[in-house]
Amino acid sequence: MALSPATAVAPGDVLLEVDNLRTYFDTVSGTVRSVDGVSYQVQAGRTLGVVGESGCGKSVTALSILRLVPTPPGRFAGGQIRYRGTDLLSLTEKQMRQIRGNRISMIFQEPMTSLNPVLTVGRQIAETVMVHQKLGRRDAYRRAEEMLRLVQIAEPERRVHEYPYQLSGGMRQRVMIALALACNPEVLIADEPTTALDVTIQAQIIDLLRNLQKTLGMGIVLITHDLGVVAECCDRVAVMYAGRKVEEASVTELFDNPLHPYTRALMGSMPSMNASTQRLAEIPGMVPAPSELGKGCSFAPRCTYATERCRVDAPALASQGADHVVACHEVARVAAQPALQALSSPAHPAALNGVQA
Amino acid sequence: MSALTQQPAPASPLLEVRDLKMHYPGAGGWFKPRRKVIQAVDGVTFNVARGETLALVGESGCGKTTTGKSVLRLIQPTSGSVKLEGEEILALTPEQMRNRRRDMQIIFQDPYASLNPRMTAGDIVGEPLRNYPMPGGRARVDELAWLFGKVGLRAEAMKKFPHEFSGGQRQRLGIARALALRPKLIVCDEPVSALDVSVQAQVINLLMDLQQEMGIAYLFVAHDLAVVRHISHRVAVMYLGRIVEVADRDTLFSQPRHPYTEILLSAVPVPNPHKPAQRKLLQGDPPSPANPPSGCRFHTRCPLAQPICRETQPPLTERPVASATGQQWVACHFR
Amino acid sequence: MSDPSISNAAAPAPAAPILLHEALTAGGRRWRWVRKHPTLIIGLLLLLIVAGLSIAAPWIATHNPITINPLQRLKPPSAQHYFGTDAMGRDVFSRVVWGGRVSLVVAIVVALVATLLGVVLGLLAGFVRWADAIIMRIMDGMMAIPDILLAIALMAVIRASLTTVIIAIAIPQVPRVVRLVRSLALTLREQLYVEAAHAIGTRLPVILHRHVLPNMVTPLVVQATFIAATAVLTEAVLSFLGVGVPAQVPSWGNMMADARNYVAVAFYTILYPGILLAITVLAINLMGDGLRDALDPRLTNQR
C-alpha cells in the first residue's frame, strides 16, 4: 500500500472528543433541541457505533463535528468538539475547510446523491487531493487510481475515467470511501453507509471498512440503526434517544448486559434478535417531536419502568460497572430483569444453526 | 366480520402462479437495430395457500416487486398464468378484473406516497367501500370505525389528513384500506422497509395478528431476511428474475441448498458480538437484467460453477427434507 | 372650528385609524401571511379597483359613452370630463370605465374557456395513449403560429362580436393549457396513490376526478391568470387593428385606435385607456406570480 497510517498516533489514542455538544435549530414553531448534551470519544484504530432511530440526533451530531450544519437556522448552543485538543467550534470557516476531507472525513447514506453526476469519479477524488495535499494533476490522478485499488474496485485505470451513473450502488459507495480516505484522514464518520445497499453488498462494504481500519489506523464513527452491523464492526457503542446519549458501553458489554430501558426495548423489537415464534416487543407511543421535550427523562412517556421522579428529573449518565454508562434512575430494577429471554428459551427452534444466534 | 382461523390447506392453493414472465422493451438506439429486452421476471412459478405467508426475497433487481405487482395485474405480465381460486385472472376483461380485485389487495412500501395528501384518512380507507355496491350510510360509517379499530387507530383520526400522521400510522392506514374489501390475499410490497425499527415491530405484529384472525394469505415481498424469518411460513428466493429456491421457513434458514441462498444468509450481519462472522462473500457485480447470463443466471458469481451451468438452466426440482412437514425446491445442477 | 364637543368625543371611543394601525401591526398568522406575499396582495388589490370601477360603470360614468357630441370634441380634462373628450366628443372617462367591462369579461371568459378545453384535451392526451399523438401534433401545429396572427385570421373569417372575439382569443391559448395538463397527467399517473386507487378497484373517470384533478388545480389556476392577462392585451390589439369588438362598443383597444391621429393635440385620449390597460395587465400578472409563490407546496411550511 502506498499510503501510510496517520503520523504519531497509537491505537487507542483519543483523536476526537465531543464534549456536551448542544446543537439547536430555531424554527417558526420553536427551538428544536436536536442534540442536547451529547459526549463521546473517537479513538484511533477503534470504531464507535452510534445507534438510534430517526430523529435522535445521531446524524446532526456528525454534521456538527464537521460544522456542516446550516447556521441559521442551526446554532451551537454549548459544548465543545475537540480534535487533537483544538475546539473545532471555535475555528474559522477557512480553518475548518482544512480539516474537512483532510483530517476528518465523512461518508453518507446515499451514494448516488453524494457524488457529483457530471464529474468523473477520478476527477472528484483527484480534486480533494489537489486541494489538500497540493499535488499536481498527474500525481493526483495517480493517487485516485491507488485509492480505487485500495477499495477493491476492479480495473481502476478504467474506472477512474467513468461517471457515477456507470457504476453500481456498491461501487459508488466504495468510491465515496475512496474519496473520504484519499487524504488519509485520522477520523472517518460513516453515516448509515450501508442502509441503502443490498445485504450482500453491505457485507462487502463492512468487510472493506474493517480492513481499511486495520491498515490505515483511523478512528471510525459508525452511525446506524442496524444492531447486526454494530455487533460486527464496532468496539464501543453509544445509544442515543431524542438528542441525548442514554447508554454507552463496549460492544460485548452492551449486548450481554443492556441496561437502559430504551436499549432493551430496541433490542426486543428487532426481529433479528428474537426467536421467530416470539411476538416482537412494541414500544408504545412515538418518538417525541424535538420541540416537545420537557424537563424529565425524554423516554419516560414510553418507558415501562418510569416513575414520578423520571418525569420531572432528567437522569444523568452514571457509571454502571466496567466502562458502561447509563442515564436512568431505575437501572437497578431494569438490571434485575433478564434481557432477551427468547434467545435462551428451550421452546425456541434451537436446532437452527443458521444465521441467528 | 366473523373471525376466521384456518390452517393453510395445501390441497387447494389460493394462488397459483405458473411461468410468469415480465419482459420490458429496453431502450434501443438509432444505430442498434435490435432492441434489448429487460427480463425483469423470467419464468416464475409458485403457489400460495390460504392463510399462509409466502415471502419473496432477493436483492434489488431480482424482480420480486415486479412479480408481486404482476400477480395483481397492476403491471401486465408478458406471459404466464395466474390463477386465483382456480380462475385465470390474466384472461379476465377489465371489468371482471375489477370485480376480482376485491379478493386481492396490496400494501405499498412507501407510506408517504401511497396516500393521496388531499384526502382525509376516512376517505382514503373508505374509498374501496365506495367503489363497489355495498350498504352505505350508517353501515359504512360503522364499517370504517371497525377498520380503524382493527389497525389500532382511533375513530377521531378519520378526519385528519395524511401529513398529520407518522410513518407507522400511515402504513396502518394503508393496511386498513387493504382490509376494507376483506381480501383473501394481500401482496405486501416491502411494507416495513421505510419505517423505524420500533415502528416496524408494531406493523409486523399487526400483520401477523390480522392473518391469525382473518385468515388472509400474504405474498410478502422483502429484502430484510430477519423480518422474513419472523413472519413467513414459506420463503422463495429470487435471483435476476428467477426463483432459485423455495422452502418452508425453518428449512430455508437452517439448511439452505442453493449457493446464492447460502451467500445471502451468511451476508446478514449477526447481532451477536461474540460470534465472528463466517461469511461467504459474493464476488463481482450483479449482472443487468437487460443482459442476463445464459443458462443458470447465477453462474457468473457462483463458487460451484461448471460448464453445464452456462449452457443449461437448471429446473426447480424438489429435494428431500429431514423434517416431515418441510419441503424444499432448488434450481441447481449440483444441489 | 373650535368645538369643544369634538375633542371630547374623540377621547373615549378609539378612532378607526387607531384600530387599523393596531390591526396592521398586531402580528398573527394571517397578517404574517399577507406580509409574506406582497405581489399577490398588490395585484389583487389593483385588480379589484379596476374591476370595481368597471362593474360600477352604470353608476359612476358621468356621461353616456356612445353619444356623439361634436361640439365638445377634444376637450382637455376638466371637472365635467375627468379624462377629457375624444375626437367625437364622447367623454373619455365614461368610455374608459365601460371599456373596462369588455376587457374583464374577455379576460375571465377566455381564461375559463381555454382552461376547460385544455383540461379535457390534456387529460385525454395524458391518459389515452393513441389520442396523445394526434392531439399533441395538432397542438404543436397551433403553437407554431403566433397567437395574435391566429386570432386575426380567425376574426377575418367569422363575423365580429364579443363572443367571436372571445373564441378567437381563447383558441390559440388552448395548446398552452393542454401541454401543462398533459405533463401533469403523466406525472400524476405514476403517483403511488393513483396506483393504489387502481388496486382497490376505482374506475378511471373516478380516479381522474378524485385523485388527479385536485392535484392539478394549483398550476392550472396560475396558468389561467396568465392567460387572462394575455387575453386583455390581445383584445386590445385586435380592437386597435379594427378586427376586434364592433366599433360602437367602447373598448380600450379601439379607443386607442381612434385616438391615434390626435396624439399630438390631445394625448389624454390615448393616455387614459393606455394606463388602465397597463395597470390591468400588470395587476393580473402580479396576481399570477403571487399565486404561484403562495401556492407552491415547497414554500408553504406552515403545516
Higher pLDDT, residue B21 or A72: B21
Among C29, B198, C11, CA closest to A271: B198
State pLDDT tens for residues B278-302. Answer: 777 777 777 878 888 888 999 888 8
Q: What distance in Å separates the CA atoms of residue A298 and residue A293, rounded to the nearest whole number?
A: 6
| Torsion angle, alpha carbons of B49, B55, B60, B63, to 10 | -10
Residue C205 has pLDDT above 50, yes or no: yes
CB atoms within 10 A of CB A190: 27
A347 touches chain B (CB under 8 A): no
A336 touches chain B (CB under 8 A): no
Q: How far is CA C85 from CA A150, B48, C3, C226, C269, in A?
A: 88, 88, 45, 33, 7
- The strand pair at B234-239 and A47-51 is best described as unpaired
- B54 beta partners: B219, B234
Q: Are B277 and A357 within 8 A, CB to CB?
A: no
Burial class (CB in 10 A: 0-12, 13-18, 19+), C208: buried
Q: Are C103 and C232 within 8 A, CB to CB?
A: yes
The amino acid occupying position A341 is Q
SS3 B188: strand
Q: What distance in Å separates the CA atoms of residue C291 and residue B48, rounded to the nearest whole number?
A: 53
| Three-state SS letters, chain A | CCCCCCCCCCCCCEEEEEEEEEEEEEECCEEEEEEEEEEEEEECCCEEEEECCCCCCHHHHHHHHCCCCCCCCEEEEEEEEEECCEEHHHCCHHHHHHHECCCEEEECCCHHHHCCCCCCHHHHHHHHHHHHHCCCHHHHHHHHHHHHHHCCCCCHHHHCCCCHHHCCHHHHHHHHHHHHHCCCCCEEEEECCCCCCCHHHHHHHHHHHHHHHHHHCCEEEEEECCHHHHHHHCCEEEEEECCEEEEEEEHHHHHHCCCCHHHHHHHHCCHHHCCCCCCCCCCCCCCCCHHHCCCCCCCHHHCCCCCHHHHHCCCCCEECCCCCEECCCCHHHHHHCCCCHHHHCCCCCCCCCCCCC
Higher pLDDT, residue A117 or C8: A117
For A184, residues 6+ apart whose C-beta sits below 8 A from its C-beta are A3, A4, A5, A6, A216, A218
Nearest CA in chain C to B110: C192
State pLDDT tens for residues A85-113. Answer: 889 999 999 999 988 888 999 998 887 78
The mean pLDDT value of chain C amounts to: 83
Among B84, B105, B65, CA closest to B221: B65
- What average pLDDT does the segment A63-82 reach? 90
Residues above pLDDT 90, as percent of chain C: 32
State pLDDT tens for residues C220-262. Answer: 988 999 999 999 889 888 888 888 888 778 888 888 888 888 8
- What average pLDDT does the segment B135-160 reach? 89
Angle at A242 between CA B109 and CA B149, to 5 degrees: 45
- What average pLDDT does the segment C62-79 reach? 85
All residues of chain B having their beta carbon less than 8 Å from the beta carbon of residue C211 are 116
Burial class (CB in 10 A: 0-12, 13-18, 19+), A186: buried
By mean pLDDT, which of A136-140, A258-262, A306-310, C20-24 is the weakest?
C20-24
| Per-residue model confidence (pLDDT) at position C250 | 87
Residue B257 has pLDDT above 80, yes or no: yes
Residue A339 has pLDDT above 60, yes or no: yes
Cβ contact, residue pair B230, A226, below 8 Å: no
A155 touches chain B (CB under 8 A): no
For C290, residues 6+ apart whose C-beta sits below 8 A from its C-beta are C37, C38, C39, C40, C41, C42, C43, C44
Q: What distance in Å separates the CA atoms of residue B48 and residue B17, rounded to the nearest whole number?
A: 9
Residue B6 has pLDDT above 80, yes or no: no
Q: Are C81 and C270 within 8 A, CB to CB?
A: no
Chain B interface disruption, residue of C189, C190, C193, most B CBs within 10 A? C193
- What average pLDDT does the segment C37-50 reach? 90
Q: How far is CA A7 from CA A44, A186, B334, in A?
A: 11, 9, 52
Count of alpha carbons within 13 angstroms of residue C180, beta-carbon side = 23
* Residue B23: φ, ψ to 5°: -110, 125
Angle at A187 between CA A183 and CA A190, to 5 degrees: 100
Cβ contact, residue pair A287, B196, below 8 Å: yes
Neighbours of chain A (3+ CB pairs under 8 A): B
Cβ contact, residue pair B272, A230, below 8 Å: no
pTM exceeds 0.95 for this model: no
By mean pLDDT, which of A31-35, A203-207, C13-17, C69-73 is the weakest?
C13-17
Residue C76 has pLDDT above 60, yes or no: yes
Q: Are C87 and C262 within 8 A, CB to CB?
A: yes
State pLDDT tens for residues A301-328. Answer: 888 888 888 888 888 889 988 789 999 9
Confidence of residue A82 (pLDDT cuts 50, 70, 90): very high
Q: Are C85 and C94 within 8 A, CB to CB?
A: no
For B125, residues 6+ apart whose C-beta sits below 8 A from its C-beta are B144, B147, B148, B158, B173, B176, B177, B180
All residues of chain A having their beta carbon less than 8 Å from the beta carbon of residue B59 are 198-201
- What average pLDDT does the segment A280-302 reach? 80
Q: What distance in Å separates the CA atoms of residue B245 and residue B63, rounded to the nearest whole number?
A: 15
All residues of chain B having their beta carbon less than 8 Å from the beta carbon of residue C216 are none
- The strand pair at A14-27 and A74-83 is best described as antiparallel
Within chain C, what is the greatest distance between any pair of CA atoms?
Answer: 84
For C150, residues 6+ apart whose C-beta sits below 8 A from its C-beta are C142, C168, C171, C172
Burial class (CB in 10 A: 0-12, 13-18, 19+), C38: exposed
Strand ranges inside B226-277, DSSP E: 234-239, 242-248
SS3 B46: strand
For C72, residues 6+ apart whose C-beta sits below 8 A from its C-beta are C81, C85, C89
| Per-residue model confidence (pLDDT) at position A63 | 92
Residue C299 has pLDDT above 70, yes or no: no
Strand ranges inside chain B, DSSP E: 15-25, 37-48, 53-57, 79-84, 87-88, 104-107, 185-189, 217-222, 234-239, 242-248, 317-319, 328-330
Q: What distance in Å separates the CA atoms of residue B47 and residue B242, rounded to the nearest whole number?
A: 15
Q: How far is CA B211 from the centre of its chain?
A: 15
Q: What distance in Å separates the CA atoms of residue B261 and residue A354, rounded to the nearest whole number?
A: 11
Q: Which three cell numbers stand for residue B330?
A: 432448488
Residue B236 has pLDDT above 60, yes or no: yes
Residue B243 is classified by DSSP as E
State pLDDT tens for residues C159-176. Answer: 888 888 899 999 999 999
* Residue B92: φ, ψ to 5°: -75, 155
The amino acid occupying position C168 is A
Q: Are B185 and B14 within 8 A, CB to CB?
A: yes
Q: How many CB pairs under 8 A join A and B?
A: 138
| Per-residue model confidence (pLDDT) at position C206 | 92
SS3 C16: helix
By mean pLDDT, which of A275-279, B173-177, B319-323 is the weakest?
A275-279
A206 touches chain B (CB under 8 A): yes
Q: Give first-to-last CA distance, chain C, whole Å.
A: 55
Chain B interface disruption, residue of A200, A251, A277, A348, most B CBs within 10 A? A200
Residue C17 has pLDDT above 60, yes or no: no
State pLDDT tens for residues B180-216. Answer: 999 999 999 999 988 888 888 899 999 999 999 999 9
The mean pLDDT value of chain A amounts to: 85
Confidence of residue B28 (pLDDT cuts 50, 70, 90): low
Residue B246 is classified by DSSP as E
Q: What distance in Å separates the CA atoms of residue A71 and residue A96, rounded to the nearest whole number?
A: 14
Q: Are B200 and B227 within 8 A, CB to CB?
A: yes
State pLDDT tens for residues A7-24. Answer: 577 888 899 999 999 999
Residue C298 has pLDDT above 70, yes or no: no
| Per-residue model confidence (pLDDT) at position A133 | 86
Q: What distance in Å separates the CA atoms of residue B86 and residue C209, rounded to the nearest whole number?
A: 35
Neighbours of chain B (3+ CB pairs under 8 A): A, C
Q: Which helix (H) or strand (E) holds C168?
A: helix C162-189
The residue behind cell 368610455 is: C95
Strand ranges inside B26-161, DSSP E: 37-48, 53-57, 79-84, 87-88, 104-107
Q: What distance in Å separates the CA atoms of residue B41 and residue B80, rounded to the nearest whole number?
A: 11
Q: Are C222 and C212 within 8 A, CB to CB?
A: no
| Per-residue model confidence (pLDDT) at position A340 | 61
| Per-residue model confidence (pLDDT) at position B31 | 57
Confidence of residue C12 (pLDDT cuts 50, 70, 90): very low
Q: What distance in Å separates the CA atoms of residue C120 and residue C212, rounded to the nearest whole number?
A: 13
| Distance in Å, alpha carbon of B310 to nearest chain A alpha carbon | 23
Chain C interface disruption, residue of B108, B116, B163, most C CBs within 10 A? B116
Residue B8 has pLDDT above 80, yes or no: no
- What average pLDDT does the segment B88-109 reach? 93
Among B205, B218, B170, B224, CA closest to B68: B218
| Contact map slice: C 118-177 vs B, CB within 8 A | none
The residue behind cell 400460495 is: B48
| Contact map slice: C 194-213 vs B, CB within 8 A | 195-203, 206, 210-211
Q: In what order do the strands lie in the sheet with A187-191?
A: A104-107, A187-191, A219-224, A47-51, A236-241, A244-250, A325-326, A318-319
SS3 B24: strand
| Per-residue model confidence (pLDDT) at position A44 | 92
